[in-house]
Structure 1
């Protein structure tokens, strides 16, 4: 029987390649209508106990990269608390089911991380459920394409991007750190946009650059407390955020040297590695998963 997770194959043709059918969704987007459907590793990811007994928190865990990470963490033996927005309740139930089918505890929490008290309550809930937080994954993000330039970026949009991508990460980390034991870690999601910003994603790219700086600075701050801090920088990834925020999805990902976007399942192993004890000497690092785009 073929094992897609471990069988050597051509990465350029391993997953669907553009052109994709044109598709448009209102924000925040949903997995079900996407064509082709995203692969979160449902049929392929096999764990090996690398996160056995860990207590983990993942923001934006209802779909996309967050769902793939939640699934992988669970199959590696971790319990998972993850956030979603009210509009994503159906998506959240699907993620929770995947975690529970792996035999682990799933706690789905509706939480808008743009609010400081929401972030405080979320960390309190995680500590109530698990007693500690071994791994915090700051993954939730907001973007909206504005091809008409900086004049088209409203203060409302700019504020939403900043508060979701930066403030939420800052608050959650600040409140979580006292509950992270030695050997625990924080993993942030940045982006290729941090290094090669697309003009139509100016505000989003700005936050992703800031996440790189935050990650590297915080890592130096927390290393004496035995806590590692790293980040993953994806290139184009086929998630609901794409049809919900970009005007043209037919050729999404075609610009990467790989000629296609990543599937969420291809990103999850990077988070597993950074969360595991195997990465004990890895901190202040950015794992670039860009499909071949060279980065500094």
Structure 2
């Protein structure tokens, strides 16, 4: 798929995803097929014109799709990533092809000093901050809790919730009335996952963080919401699951296929736009039709 045009009939069925694995962290350019990140039949409406948005994990997967959609809506971007230089630079080129402005920042979001660096560089580059997308995450499937080491547990929580906390804390002084924070949670926060105990727990923390922060920032008129994806075809999948699991990835959804990153992007645009000014503390579930509590 070349991301030139996206229709529902183009969405990959689970059976068409070849069993494959990668070393961690995954690289989007190595995936077969590559995820669909852009709907070129939609060129944007200027809904985020001149807004400044930080997107963690914006080099690939859901983050890339959101970055491309934001660029088409007129936003100026900061893409935060950890290791995948080629994916990050590919995303930068895509954004620039839409005449978007983008700053790449590389580092570990689990480090509070790096979070402060992200905000400092953003303000120096653009002079303001309007939208914060806390999207970066990691997962490490294990067959039982006894196999989850201290190091794995700490790494998962540092990336998935500590990093989100650090970056949000650093961003708050620069956010104002009308600003928007959007966190990426997961369907696993609601129904659990037998092999992703630490990941599911961290995403449960993201959900509680979103709800509590929304209440805390309501007086400042800063909105906080989250997206809870189901199975989405991103580099996280072939880099963490075995070939057999990848081969059938997403088949257990009511729509019988995994989602593509582009199918989430519009929700992130909506929550950051003036169309969602009375929405805070809420979750949009994008999971192929599964009804989950909350």
Q: Same fold (TM over 0.5)?
A: yes
SS in 2 for 1:214: helix
- Equivalent residue for 1:211? 206
Correspondence 1:99 to 2:90: no
Which of 193, 198, 205 is the equivalent residue of 2:193? Answer: 198
Answer yes or no: is the 8 Å Cα contact 1:27–1:245 preserved in 2. Answer: yes
Which of 116, 120, 138 is the equivalent residue of 1:120? Answer: 116
- Equivalent residue for 1:51? 48
Q: How does 1:1-296 map to 2 (within 5 A)?
A: 11=8, 13-19=9-15, 20-41=17-38, 43-86=40-83, 88-147=84-143, 149-247=144-242, 248-296=245-293
Deviation at 1:228, TM superposition (A): 0.2
What number of residue pairs does the alignment pair up?
287
SS in 2 for 1:243: coil
In structure 2, distance between residues paired with 1:80 and 1:109: 11
SS in 2 for 1:215: helix
CA-atom RMSD in angstroms: 1.3
In structure 2, distance between residues paired with 1:132 and 1:221: 22
Stretches of structure 1 lacking an aligned partner (at least 5 in a row): none
Stretches of structure 2 lacking an aligned partner (at least 5 in a row): none
Q: Deviations over 1:30-67 (max 9, x none)?
A: 11221121000153442111000000000000000000
Answer yes or no: is the 8 Å Cα contact 1:188–1:215 preserved in 2. Answer: yes
TM-score normalised to structure 2 length: 0.95
Q: Deviations over 1:92-129 (max 9, x none)?
A: 00111111111121101102101110111111111111
In structure 2, distance between residues paired with 1:44 and 1:22: 30
In structure 2, distance between residues paired with 1:33 and 1:94: 13
TM-score normalised to structure 1 length: 0.94
SS in 1 for 2:269: helix
Answer yes or no: is the 8 Å Cα contact 2:229–2:286 preserved in 1. Answer: yes
Change (3 A) 1:65 1:24: same
In structure 2, distance between residues paired with 1:65 and 1:119: 20
